[in-house]
Structure 1
Amino acid sequence: MTASPKVSTRFADADGVRVFYREAGDPQAPVMLLLHGFPTSSHQFRHLIPQLAGHFRVIAPDLPGFGFTEVPAARQYTYTFDNLATTLGAFVDALGLERYAMYVFDYGAPTGLRLAVAHPERVTGLVSQNGNAYLDGLGDAWAPTRQYWAEPSAANRQVLHDAMLHLEGTKWQYLHGVADPDSVEPESYTLDAALLERPGNKDIQLDLFLDYANNLKRYPDFQAFFRQAQVPTLVIWGRNDPFFIPPGAEAFRRDNPGAVVELLDTGHFALETHGPYIGQRILDVIAR
């Protein structure tokens, strides 16, 4: 029997934050940086990491406000995507990562793409799994958030709180658009929902919902990176995602005609239902 690659869990001090991360693979191998989304953490890559570790040094951090990363109260952290990207950049520097491919999903896209814009020479490849960078990709499910952007009132903030920040809301994100809901491991959405219940965390998430509007202003910068860098790119999305819809995936070809775009019959958390296939396509497109 072939032994599975060892996956280590560690912490790194970066930007005044104790960043939790998972790592596997040969330390001398090319780096693959896995960047999670809302409301999850590096736990979403628990099956993908061993699959990629034979080809990459795989590193998957938990962003501030998520998973097991610790942000000291004395740090007085302000939860914006600019600040998440600053902490991610400090984390990458703390680990001495000079070159890396990136897998971006959901929140991982605006966070990781800020890093790519700041240091395009470091990026060797890109995987976008429902990681949006185009206005075309914003689905109707954004309507309550858009209302919050237009009028950041306590009432609109409460609407998002009541819709999203509980177990049933998290479970819906995992299961919507999935042909066989029983194929999704319940520990995924259960862990995410449990971590949302930490004191103060729901306010962190609501602050990020509001700040997400600033990501749309950065889309032209992200698209300029795609045009100028032309790195090997795999865009592989769940076509039934209510948040990031298929036109956002197809749009990547406008700026990088060589991008490989695939739409899968699943929802937002495509790794939960199509993990082995996505892992193989990463090896086909990026590892080569």
Structure 2
Amino acid sequence: MAVHIHNPNVFHTHQRRLSHTSSSASPASYLFCRHSHAKYPRFICKSNNQDDYLIDAPVSVGDGFSFSGGKYSDQPSPSDEWLKQGKWVKAHRVGGSGVEAKDPIFGLTMGASSQASKDVFRWFCVESGNLDSPPVILIHGFPSQAYSYRKALPVLSKNYRAIAFDWLGFGFSDKPQAGYGFNYTLDEFVSSLESFIDEVTTSEVSLVVQGYFSTAAVKYARNRPEKIKNLILLNPPLTPEHAKLPSTLSVFSNFLLGEIFSQDPLRASDKPLTSCGPYKMKEDDAMVYRRPYLTSGSSGFALNAISRAMKKELKGYAEEMRTSLMDKNWKIPTTVCWGQRDKWLSYEGVEDFCKSSGHKLIELPMAGHHVQEDCGEELGGIISRIISKAALP
């Protein structure tokens, strides 16, 4: 849970299941203390049978709701290494009135990390491969990050220019408060995706998209078919039964409770990634996924906003996606890759849908909802083969 700051000299203690080596270890507690001469408030995380570690955050960069700059220790972390691999791309113009965002609970003005850019949003992306190679854009699901494609990127980079990005509101991309430049509706995700793709390449692209954000990617592809060479969907919501968020995600949309739960990095990152399939998260990977939630309240508020929008709009968008994919005029080569150990979306009806629509189905028996986490290298090979076969005359 993020640290609430009503007074910069007062800190509250929360219990949180957060361990140095395993997200499933016994509960750990944060002991918050500040000495008058200290430059940084020191958060000591104690857990049974584990070494203590610190989360230090400069008071000067607190964002009004939670600290910005928090980290596990002074040692280099996996999230630092991931950030070094990436870059920021500016795409999609900021809307709204331009006034400073305030948190939705206490009405406190948020810090810089929670404010929208003045003109164009910043997207974090990791790119590998030759710039002259055919582009493949990898789109993570809800909620996740570009980091989920870390194992597929090296495989794809051998023959393609592979680009994995963080959606606005996720990972290390901009996370404006809803109502202050971006409201996290699916329509906005469609238009922002168009802006991002137009910014990174003028060529046709192969799109790979996972989970619930498939609905936005298919709508973009329908609007801009001339830009899409191939479309590869990983466990998308293909049946009417799929058009309902699982409780693990819908809880973030609950009134007040959603704001609270979305500030807890274990509920916001660990649980959604590990409860929907066989994925066993390593602590080094968990540190990357938790980092945005530990460093700023903006990540949690963005999660809360997209969860509410998704809960409201998913049914209509999923139906529209099914209609588009079943349309006889749909000309984009489309492949569905399905992790059969998905605990959120049932496999029932998927095979029938692919047969009826004429789209290729690739079954992955050992993967769950987040296919790229469970078999990233294998997925990279599958994507490469799909694209190379499609390129044959």
TM-score by length of 2: 0.61
Write out per-residue CA displacement over residues 242-268 of structure 1, whole angstroms, 9 at most, x where no aligned residue.
222213643541553241231422322
Residue 180 of structure 1 and its aligned partner are, at CA, apart by 7.5
Residue 189 of structure 2 aligns to which amino acid in structure 1?
L
CA offsets 1:128-185 (integer angstroms, 9 cap, x no match): 112324324357834983x99xxx762xx5168548953156323333465573xx43
1:219 aligns with 2:279: no
Residue 9, structure 1, aligned to residue 9, structure 2: no
Q: Is the 8 A contact 1:176 1:241 kept in 2?
A: no
Task: Give me the whole-angstrom Cα distance separating, in 2, the residues matched to 1:276 and 1:81.
Answer: 30
| Match for residue 193 of structure 1 among 281, 290, 298 | 290
Larger Rg over CA atoms: 2
Give 1:41 shift: 1.2
Residues 186 and 250 from structure 1, CA distance in 2 versus in 1: closer, same or farther, beyond 3 angstroms?
farther
CA distance, structure 2, for counterparts of residue 218 and residue 124 of structure 1: 22
The answer to which structure has the higher helix fraction is: 1
2:211 partner SS? coil
Aligned residue identity for 1:243: W
Paired with 1:158 and 1:180, the residues of 2 have a C-alpha distance of 27
Is the 8 Å Cα contact of residues 127 and 163 (structure 2) preserved in structure 1?
A: yes
- Confirm or deny that 1:52 pairs with 2:156: yes
Query: In structure 2, do the counterparts of structure 1 residues 256 and 205 end up closer, same or farther at CA, with 3 Å as the change threshold?
Result: same
Aligned to 2:246, the other structure's residue is in SS state helix
How far apart, CA to CA, are the structure 2 residues paired with 1:191 and 1:170? Answer: 10
Contact 1:163 / 1:169 at 8 angstroms: preserved in 2?
yes
Deviation at 1:18, TM superposition (A): 0.9
Q: Which amino acid aligns with 1:283?
A: S
**RMSD after superposition:** 3.1
Q: Which amino acid aligns with 1:77?
A: F
Runs (5+) with no aligned partner, structure 2: 1-83, 93-119
Specify whether residues 64 and 79 from structure 1 end up closer, same or farther in structure 2 by C-alpha distance, changes over 3 A only.
Answer: same
Distance in structure 1 (CA, Å) of the matches to 2:152 and 2:236: 17
Q: Is 259-268 or 46-55 further displaced after alignment?
A: 259-268
What is the one-letter code of the residue matched to 1:167? Answer: L
Matching of residues 151-190 of structure 1 within 5 Å: 154=255, 158=257, 162=261, 165-168=264-267, 170-176=269-275, 181=280, 184-190=281-287
Task: For 1:174 and 1:153, locate their aligned partners in 2 and report how far apart those are by CA, in whole Å.
Answer: 20
How much does 1:105 deviate?
0.8
Query: Given the superposition, is the C-alpha separation of residues 179 and 108 from structure 1 closer, same or farther in structure 2, using an over 3 Å criterion?
Result: closer
Provide closer, same or farther for how the CA distance between residues 196 and 112 of structure 1 changes in structure 2, counting only shifts above 3 A: farther
| Equivalence map 1:182-261=2 (5 Å) | 184-197=281-294, 198-212=296-310, 213-226=312-325, 227=327, 228-247=329-348, 249-250=350-351, 252-254=353-355, 256-261=357-362
What's the CA shift for 1:76? 2.5
Aligned to 1:267: 368
Match for residue 165 of structure 2? 61
- Identity score, percent: 20
Equivalent residue, structure 2, for 1:283: 384
Letter in 2 for 1:70: D
Opposite residue 189 of structure 1, the aligned amino acid is A
**Cα gap change, 1:167 to 1:215, in 2 (>3 Å):** same
Q: Give the partner amino acid of 1:202.
A: G
Aligned residues of 2:211 and 2:370 also touching (Cα < 8 A): no
Runs of 4+ in 1 over 4 A off after TM superposition: 71-75, 177-180
Cα distance, 1:185–1:266 mapped onto 2, change above 3 Å? same
- Would the alpha carbon gap of residues 240 and 206 (structure 1) be closer, same or farther in structure 2, given more than 3 Å must change? same
Q: Letter of the aligned partner of 1:256 in structure 2?
A: S
How many residues in Structure 1 have an aligned counterpart in Structure 2? 274
Offset of residue 126 of structure 1 = 1.7
